[in-house]
Amino acid sequence: MSLSESPNFIQSNVSLKPFNSFRFDAEADFFAVINQLDELVEALEWANANSIKITMLGEGSNLLVTGDVKGLVLINRLKGISVSEQDSIVQMTVCAGESWHQVVTFAVANGFSGIENLALIPGSAGAAPVQNIGAYGVEVKDVLARVQVMDRANAELLWINASDCGFSYRDSYFKQDWADRYFITAISLNLSRDHKVKVSYGGLANGLPDNPGIQQVFDRVCQVRSEKLPDPKLIGNAGSFFKNPIVDGAQYQAVLKDFPDLVAFAVGDSWKLAAGWMIDKAGWKGYSREGVGVYDKQALCLVNHEADKAEYLLRLERDLTLDIFQKFGVQLEREPVQLGELPQL
C-alpha cells in the first residue's frame, strides 16, 4: 500500500494548534480524528504498512508540543459510557475519547462516588491512566478496574487489569514501556453508591459542611480548581507543569534546615515537597517574558499568553528549574508530555 492510498479521513500537513491546550503551533505530517474503532484499525493498518509512526492524542491538555510532529497524529474521539451494578458496586465503562470532567459529572449526577475529587481535571478519559491523574488525595488508580487497549502491532483489542499497569505518582507503563505498544480505547472504573468522601487533603474541607455529599465535594473541587488554575480556553496552559518532587528523609531535612516553612507531605518513608511553594518562594510566581509566564495564582502552572512556539516556554522552564535547583537542591520534573521536534534554545 502506498502513501497515496491513505484512508480518505487522513489529512496531510495539519496544524496542531487547536489540539493542544498550550495552543503552540506545529504541523503533523498526517492527521485524523478517530470517531470509531474501525477507523482506528484502518489508520493503524495503513501506518504499519508504510512504516509511519502513530501518535494518539486526547484533548491535548497534558501536552507540550515543541515542534513539528513526524508521522500520523490521531485525535481520539471514541465516545460512549455504559454502567452495570452489583450490590453497591458500580462498574462504569467509558470510551477513551470522552471528556474526563464530563465523566466525573455523569458519575456524580447518578450518585456514583469515587472520582468526585478528580473534577475539572482537563483531558480525555483515555489519558487518565497514562498520567495516573490525581487531586485532593485521590488518584485514578484507586478506582480503575481495567483498561481496554488496541495492540499497535496487530490491531487486537484486549483488557489489562489495573494492577498490571505499573501505576505510580503521575506515571504508568502507558507513559513509559507501553507508550509505543498500545492505544487506550476504553477504561473501566469501580465506583460505589456508598458515599465515603475524602476531604482531608489540601484544605478541601474548608467551606464544606460536616459529612458532605459527593455533589458538595464535586462543587467544592470545581470552585477551588477554578480559583487556582486558568481556563485553557482563555489562557494557554497544561495545568500543573511540574510534579511535586518526592525525596528521601535526608534531603527533606536538608531543605527544611534552610527553609523551616517548607510545605511538604509524608509519603511512606519519603517526603513530597510542594513544588509550587518552592517556585513562589524563589520569586517566580507571576513572572512573565516573551509571551509566556508563571501563573500569578498558582506557581505550579506555566502559561502561554501570546507565544506561537514552545521554545519561549522551554527557555523559561530551563531557567526556572535551574534556579530552583540552585536554591533548594531539588530537581523539578516536567509533568506534561513533550511531543515534536525540539528547537534550539
Active site residues: 170, 240, 335
Strands (E) in 193-313, as ranges, are 236-237, 246-247, 264-267, 270-273, 288-289, 292-294, 302-304
Burial class (CB in 10 A: 0-12, 13-18, 19+), 82: exposed
* Main-chain dihedrals φ then ψ at residue 41, nearest 5 degrees: -60, -45
With CA atoms as reference, report the closest residue to 68 among 120, 113, 16, 32. 16
| Euclidean distance between the first and the last CA atom of the chain, given in angstroms as a whole number | 39
Integer Cα distance of 180 and 210 in angstroms: 47
**Count of CB atoms within 10 A of residue 90's CB?**
20
Task: Kindly state the greatest CA–CA separation across the chain.
Answer: 65
